[in-house]
Structure formats: C-alpha cells, structure tokens
Amino acid sequence: MKDYFYKAIALRTEKVLLFIDLLINKFSFKSLLLLLTVVIGSQVALAQDILVNSLKVNASDKSKESFKFTDVINLANTSVKNQGSSGTCWSYSGNSFLESEMIRIGKQPVEISQIFTARNAYIEKGKNYVRMHGAVTLGDGGSLHDVTNMLKKYGAVPQEVYTGLNYGTTKNKFGEMAALTEGLLVAAVKNPNGELTPNWIKAYEAVIDSYLGQVPQNFNYKGKNYTPQSFAKEVVGLNPDEYVEFSSYSNVPYYTKTMLMVPDNWSFDMIYNVRLNDMTDIIDNALKNGYTVAWATDVSEKSFSWKNGIAYVPTKKVDEMTPEEKENMFNGPKPEMEITEELRQKAFDNYQTTDDHGMHIVGVSKDQDGKEYYIVKNSWGATNDYKGYLYVTKNFIKYKSTALMVNKGAIPAAIAKKMGI
C-alpha cells in the first residue's frame, strides 16, 4: 500500500541491476550483499517517511476551531498506534480492524502483533519474488487481505510477545533491513551459481529475524501456553474466511471478482467489484450495525490534511486556487466536487489515484452544517489535531479508495446477493 516506494526506487532500479551484473562475477555472495546494502540503503528513503513529510504542508492555521463535529456513531476500537518508519500501515490498520471485530463479538481485545503479521507476509512475498524471477513488488508495503491471509496461515501473537524491536529502537525503523533483504533477493534472482539452491530462503529469513526477532513456537499469555495458531483460534477467535475486500472500477463487470490492480497486491488476490455508491452504502450499513471497516486509499492528495485531520474533494484543483483559498482549505466545511464512476476510473488509470495508505473507519460524525464524515483511525501516533483520528468525507472515500475490507455480515443483503455472497 505504498506507491511512494515505487517512486522512491524508480530512479535507481536500472543502475542497481547494472551494478549487480558487474559485481556478480567479481565478488562473493556475502560481499555482494554488503555492497548492495550500501548502494540501495543510501538511495532509498522509506515510503512511509516520504509520504508523511509530503503531507506536512497540507494544513490550515484555524482548522480545528472552524469545525464543530458531533459524533453519530463511534464504535469501539483500541488505542492509536504509531507504525514508525515502516510501510506497515496495512498491518496496523488491518489488525486494528480485527481488534474491533473481537470487541464486536464480545471478546476482550488484545493488541495483535502487527509486526508478526508483517514478518510472515515478508517471508511469503520473498518466496513470490524469487518464484516470479523478480517480476513482483518488493518493499514493506502490503494489502488489507495480507492481514487475514497471514492470520489464516500463521496465526497470531500478542504485541507483548513479538514487538519486532530486536535492534535497540523503540519504534519500527525498517530501512536497513529493507536494503539487506532486497539486496539478497535481487542477488538470488540473478542466480550467480547458474542453479538456484534452497539456501537463499534460509538466508532471507535469517536477515528478517535478526532485525525483527525469531518467531516464538509457543509462549505464555495470562498463565496459559499457546502456539500462534492456538492463540488465533482461542483468543482472537475470528474466522479469516468471513472477511471480504471490495472496490469499484468501471473497466470490469460489476458484482464479479477481479484482480486488485495495485503494485502491493503481491499475492494476486481477487476482490469484489461493486458500483461507486455501493462502497459508501456498505460502509454505512456496516457502521449502523456495529461493524468497522478497513480502508486502503490514496492520501497523497493536497486535500488530505493529516495535521488538521480532514480529507475532502475540493470543487477546483488546488493549483487553480487563489493563495487565500489554499490558506483556508481546511478552515471549516467546504463544498465538494461530485464524484462519478468515470471520474474515479480516470484518476485510477492516469495514476492520480495511487495505493498509498491503510486506515480504519470506526464511525460517523456530522459537522456544524449537518454533513456526514467518516471517523477514521490512523497509525501515525496521536500527533494531529484529533489525537490520531481524521474526519473524511464520503466523496473522498468514493474518489480515492483503492480497496475496503468488511465482515460479510456487514454488507446490505441486496448488494450481497448481487455479489453472490
């Protein structure tokens, strides 16, 4: 969920591959990895850092005092987390969503280890990368379905058992690990021996585990011993098969399953394709019936303000605004552009909508004019005007969403019937 990663690496990919060609015949595999770490690590700024820094200018001085929000629905959710310098928004938002699902079914929520989920996804992603001869995405980004897929395959552990902080930091900082793992996988695909051995996966897992920590085979939690699988079954208690992803694209038939065509869909998962208004109808029905929603979207828009906690779709392009209009973009409610299926599809096709970030929709609020916004929980810490939450308009959801995930029971019966669920 991180198109900023591809922008960051695009300029150096060809040079790195040429560099590998030059080195393979002159250096040992170990030396090659060390050199690649220097080359790649020195040139790549993590997508997460690039994205957050790019949003700092999207703010108005009097935004919070200019909005008066009244919550209509605010469903239970766990505390706001900080993903640090890592592209793991998909894991933080997806696991936050699962924690709210635990609350919904009457369980005591536990903070599910986001990095346990991410670590397992990285292992599977590495296998796919080598299997596909390097023709799939690398990086630490992912998709919402990676969370349920990893829950199903690997189980879950509590955060206190697997923090992923195995190298002296208090927050995630994945730059060095990402450089090493990418260098290793690229070198494996180049196949310097002429025949690929199975040892590359051992080396790959060893690098990841040296940074994130070895996965516990069993552990104690509240006086009882668990494996990751038994913890997922007995404590988390959710069925991964009960969750579905959906989006809306006009270039494929509606109410059928289609490939999620974003770079971070490294597992080639399929999603349901629904009509534009179905997206918000599903969200509304979910929230009214006690279900929260996991959300993947584009936050690189100038009308998305993390600082002010507001996202909407202005009636005119930002570069066509006057200086005064730009200055006041987030100072109180504003009229919005109407979103059509054609407008949404065009933005996706011409790269104006990219798959940047994952968050968690937990409620509905109204501004002083009676307009509804979704209450959205982020994973960048409690560092903005609303202590880690945002207010996002329905039009922004319609325009910029790349995918959403819900429990099947949250979908209105009429839409579910069309989807064949």
Q: Where do the domains of the chain lie?
A: 3-419
User: Distance between CA 83 and CA 396 in Å, rounded?
Assistant: 24
Query: How are beta strands 357-366 and 389-393 bridged, if at all?
Result: unpaired
pLDDT exceeds 70 at position 8: no
180-228 pLDDT tens trace = 999 999 999 999 999 999 999 999 999 999 999 999 999 999 999 999 9
Nearest to 389 by CA among 35, 80, 74: 80
Q: 3-state SS string over the chain?
A: CCHHHHHHHHHHHHHHHHHHHHHHCCCCHHHHHHHHHHHHHHHCCCHHHHHHHHCCCCCCCCHHHHCCCEEEEECCCCCCCECCECCCHHHHHHHHHHHHHHHHCCCCCCCECHHHHHHHHHHHHHHHHHHCCCCCCCCCCCCHHHHHHHHHHHCCCECCCCCCCCCCCCCCECHHHHHHHHHHHHHHHHCCCCCCCCHHHHHHHHHHHHHHCCCCCCEEECCEEECHHHHHHHHHCCCHHHEEEEECCCCCCCCEEEECCCCCCCCCCEEEECCHHHHHHHHHHHHHCCCCEEEEECCCCCCEECCCCEECCCCCCHHHCCHHHHHCCCCCCCCCCCCCHHHHHHHHHCCCCCCCEEEEEEEEEECCCCCEEEEEECCECCCCCCCCEEEEEHHHHHHHEEEEEEEHHHCCHHHHHHHCC
Query: In this predicted structure, what is the pLDDT of residue 377?
Result: 98
Please give the pLDDT value at position 1: 59
pLDDT at position 45 over 90: no
CA distance 266 to 140: 11
pLDDT band at 20 (very low <50, low <70, confident <90, very high): very low
Q: What is the pLDDT of residues 337-380, one digit of tens each?
A: 999 999 999 999 999 999 999 999 999 999 999 999 999 999 99
| CA distance linking residue 166 with residue 179, whole number of Å | 17
| Share above pLDDT 90 across residues of the chain, in percent, rounded to a whole number | 83
Span 72-80, mean pLDDT? 98
> Rounded to whole angstroms, how far apart are CA atoms 329 and 314?
8
Residue of 9 and 171 predicted with greater confidence: 171
For residue 6, name the pLDDT band (cuts at 50, 70, 90): very low
Q: Are 161 and 421 in contact (CB under 8 A)?
A: no
As a whole-number percent, the residues of the chain with pLDDT over 70 amount to 89
Judge whether residue 50 has pLDDT over 80: no
pLDDT recorded at residue 13: 44
Residues 53 and 306: beta-carbon distance below 8 Å: no
Please state, in angstroms and rounded to a whole number, the distance separating the CA atoms of residues 344 and 272.
17
Higher-pLDDT residue of 33 and 221 is: 221
Give the separation between CA 1 and CA 87, rounded to whole angstroms.
8
**How confident is the prediction for the chain on average, in pLDDT?**
90
- Across residues 289-303, what is the average pLDDT? 97
Cα gap 406→246, rounded to integer Å? 8
CATH top-level class of 3-419: alpha beta
Confidence of residue 48 (pLDDT cuts 50, 70, 90): low
12 residue type, one letter: R
What is the gyration radius of the CA atoms in the chain, in angstroms?
Answer: 22
65 vs 167, more confident: 65
Instruction: Label residue 266 left, alpha or beta by phi (over 0 means left) and psi (-120 to 50 means alpha).
Output: alpha
pLDDT band at 47 (very low <50, low <70, confident <90, very high): low
pLDDT above 70: residue 283: yes
**In this predicted structure, what is the pLDDT of residue 304?**
97
Pairing assessment for the beta strands 310-311 and 389-393 based on DSSP bridges = parallel
Residue in the structure block whose two tokens are 């960051």: 8
**Average of per-residue pLDDT across 58-69:** 96
Residue 196 carries which side chain, given as an amino acid letter?
A: L
Residues 235 and 99: beta-carbon distance below 8 Å = no
Query: What does DSSP say about strands 357-366 and 372-377: parallel, antiparallel, or unpaired?
Result: antiparallel
**Residue 54 or 257, more confident:** 257
Q: Give the model confidence (pLDDT) of 109-154 as tens digits.
A: 999 999 999 999 999 999 999 999 999 988 889 999 999 999 999 9
